[in-house]
Amino acid sequence: MKTVYIAISADILHHGHINLIKKAAQYGELIVGVLTDEAVATYKRLPVLDYDERSFIIENIVGVKKVVPQSTLDYSDNLEKYKPDFVFHGDDWKEGVQSKIRQNVIDTLEGWGGKLIEIPFTEDVSIDKINGMIKDASSIPDSRRGKLKKLISLKPIVRTMEAHNGLSALVVENAKVTSDEQVKTFDAIWVSSLTDSTAKGKPDIELVDMTSRITTINEIMEVSTKPIILDGDTGGLLEHFVFNIKTIERMGVSAIIIEDKMGLKKNSLFGTDVEQTQDGIENFCEKIRAGKKALLTDEFMIIARIESLILKQGMDDAIERAKAYVGAGADGIMIHSRETRPDEIFEFCDLFRQFAPDVPLVVVPTSFNQVYEDEFAKRGVNIVIYANHLIRSAYPAMMDTANLILENERCKEADDKCLSIKEILTLIPDE
């Protein structure tokens, strides 16, 4: 008896898959590699159904002999393991991101004389339409809120970009870069106090109040589906924090990060150049405990941000606080630094992982910007936040255009720097 192998994610199952399974099963005993949750989350989006549910469905389709997990988009490991005589796939992967995977399949099969058989792609399947419906459904609060925890559990690192209004949120939602066999996108949105304030022409000193922050969050939510992490500044007075946190949780935000400072808060990147006061450990723990008590779901995360390195209080203080905040119930820790080298951040990560192997860890590498994401992941970091880069790049572009018009006393020269009128008119869809 010959053996046949196909791989699918099976999150959206349609008659094209059934065609493929039927044809493949005619050639021998059919093994189906179902992509693991990690593989789907890394290469596509969070799966709607988890691996056990998806593999259960596939196991029960006529013609399927066996279901096995496939943990990468690349087939090589499973092909080496099962040495099938045939691999079946639709003929729609000869170009684009999947072409390299296709070539690996052909090369690996050659090892034992196996063959790739490609069948015509089933044309009338509207995956785009189904994806659109899933996207709409996943933007509602109850679907969105739990996505961050899920992403942390499935991805080596959760890549997060700031947004400060609807337009920048659209950028975070839609930015996509294709490289090798991967499609890279952002996983989550950071609603930064610095960029939310700057966009309003205000300093980052908790002057933009919660009502205004909520308006920004709503604008962002209207045009996006990705989980949102809110920069909650100091969290304010404990008595206010317990109310605000409920509102934020109800809206479908996934996490709030609060920093252990008190009094008039200034942006951390000023460091000790301005006067800033760190909160007492017990006081801040009290805020964390009160916040946790106020929550209604176990999806929402309170992440405690440690300012000891920013305020030059030393590593021992940072670690002491991390232990205390985790003990008080914080769902994660953010460690911040304004050093241009990552050494103190790496040292913290190593020490932190010795006593908190599973607590999510967040970094904001604005200053130590040379570190690649996979290096952070190796050090045990779960979330990396690019905290201000969209607004920082928008401002010089706007200034250049304004200056060009002033210099030329007309707008023709500025046109090259601008989106075309057609593009700006169609950027935001009517519905």
Residues forming contacts to Mg ion in the complex (CB under 5 A) are 193, 231
Place of tokens 């790496």: 346
CA 82 to CA 11: how far, in whole Å?
24
- From Mg ion, ligand SPV, none, which one binds at residue 269 (CB under 5 to 8 Å depending on kind)? ligand SPV
What H or E segment, with its residue span, contains residue 286?
A: helix 281-294
Record the tokens describing residue 411, joined without a space. 């707008």
Quote the least distance from Cβ 192 to ligand SPV, whole Å: 3
364 binds ligand SPV (CB under 6 A): yes
CA 335 to CA 308: how far, in whole Å?
9
Number of H helices, E strands in the chain: 18, 17
Q: Is 204 a catalytic residue?
A: yes
Binding string, 215-254, against ligand SPV, x = CB under 6 A?
Answer: ----------------x-----------------------
194 binds ligand SPV (CB under 6 A): yes
387 binds ligand SPV (CB under 6 A): yes
* Nearby residues of 305 by Cβ (< 8 Å), 6 or more positions away: 257, 258, 259, 260, 333, 334, 335, 336, 362
Nearer of residues 205 and 405 to Mg ion, judged by Cβ = 205
CA 166 to CA 224: how far, in whole Å?
8
Q: Are 181 and 98 in contact (CB under 8 A)?
A: yes
For ligand SPV (CB under 6 A), the number of binding residues is 12
Stretches 99-107, 262-270, 296-304, 317-325: which one binds ligand SPV (CB under 6 A)? 262-270
- From Mg ion, ligand SPV, none, which one binds at residue 173 (CB under 5 to 8 Å depending on kind)? none
* 216, 366, 376, 390: residue in contact with ligand SPV (rule CB under 6 A): 366
CA 320 to CA 214: how far, in whole Å?
33
3-state secondary structure of 332: strand
- From Mg ion, ligand SPV, none, which one binds at residue 388 (CB under 5 to 8 Å depending on kind)? ligand SPV
CA 45 to CA 50: how far, in whole Å?
12
Stretches 174-182, 188-196, 219-227, 368-376: which one binds ligand SPV (CB under 6 A)? 188-196
> Which residue is catalytic, options 11, 196, 204, 279?
204
193 binds ligand SPV (CB under 6 A): yes
Interaction site with ligand SPV (CB under 6 A): 192-194, 204, 231, 267-269, 364, 366, 387-388
* Residues with catalytic roles: 204
